[in-house]
Amino acid sequence: MATSLAARIGLDVILSLAGRTADPAPQPVPVRSGGFGGAEGLARYLRDEKIDLLIDATHPFAARISANAGQAVGHCDLTAFALRRPAWSSVEGDDWLSVHNVAQAVAALGEAPLRVFLATGRQEAHQANAAPQHHYWVRSVDPVEPPLTVPNVSYIHSRGPFRLADELDMLQRNRIETIIAKNSGGDTTYAKIEAARRVGIKVIMVERMETPGLPVVETVEAALGRIDHFVSSRMKRGV
């Protein structure tokens, strides 16, 4: 999205990051980082910076900032929408168990020790401490701090996109028996799901909670269409 917007003349874009990663990927537009201070803080920022258009393009599991955006726009005079990629659906050959959160996913592993690929990201990896009988392979961009307290854990530090061949290799080399994943949607992290299907292992899938609030588009193309409409209607009104 940022790449598409950077190429547009006449738009003054600012990208807001939560500030979770120590070394974020370079961006083609100016960036600000860190929380606003709740919905009120975000509303204040939007007014102070005279923002005309808000696009909530946050991660589908970053529910709080999306709810804050929904509340904040009610107190501001601006246009807003969310870009939310569709969730993945299981296809023939998938063995999925859908759960509501990471704690449920860890509980669903059961009593018998398993070799588990925990692909939920760093922030919720600690839920694995509740089931120390399993061996976990935890993948995240930044280190998990503090480390898990379970006796058997291996950390993999890497940033997507991930390729199918690498995911297959990772699952087979480590003899992974189950994956815990979030239903993030999109292409960049789907390879592990496809790899699980090919190898024939279960995926415990943490499903999203619906975030009420802003109108939603599902693709960058649809978002650009909305932006074009927004810009041309302002030009017609002479704003």
Ligand X SMILES: NC(=O)c1ccc[n+]([C@@H]2O[C@H](COP(=O)([O-])OP(=O)(O)OC[C@H]3O[C@@H](n4cnc5c(N)ncnc54)[C@H](OP(=O)(O)O)[C@@H]3O)[C@@H](O)[C@H]2O)c1
Residue 74 binding ligand X, by CB under 6 A: no
Kindly calculate the radius of gyration of the chain based on its CA atoms and give it in whole angstroms.
Answer: 20
Of the pair 13, 62, the CB lying nearest ligand X is at: 62
Identify the bridge partners of residue 217 per DSSP, sorted by sequence position: 83
Residue 115 binding ligand X, by CB under 6 A: no
In the bound complex, which residue of the shown chain has the CB atom lying closest to ligand X? Answer: 35
Judged by DSSP in three states, 47 sits in: helix
Nearest in space to 181 (alpha carbons), one of 63, 95, 92: 95
CB of 157 closer than 8 Å to CB of 141? yes
Of the pair 3, 172, the CB lying nearest ligand X is at: 3
Nearest in space to 177 (alpha carbons), one of 194, 203, 201: 201
Binding segment (CB under 6 A) for ligand X, from list 5-13, 104-112, 118-126, 222-230 = 118-126
Per-residue mark of binding to ligand X, 123-142 (x: CB under 6 A): xx------------------
Q: What part of residues 182-221 is at the interface with ligand X (CB under 6 A)?
A: 182
Binding segment (CB under 6 A) for ligand X, from list 106-114, 117-125, 149-157, 224-232 = 117-125
Of the pair 91, 156, the CB lying nearest ligand X is at: 156
Q: Distance between CA 72 and CA 40 in Å, rounded?
A: 6
Count CB-CB contacts under 10 A for residue 84: 21
- Token pair, residue 3, equals 């790449």
Number of residues that bind ligand X (CB under 6 A): 22
Residue 41 binding ligand X, by CB under 6 A: yes
- Token pair, residue 228, equals 């074009």
Contacts with ligand X by CB under 6 A lie at 16-18, 20, 35-38, 41-42, 58-59, 61-65, 68, 121, 123-124, 182
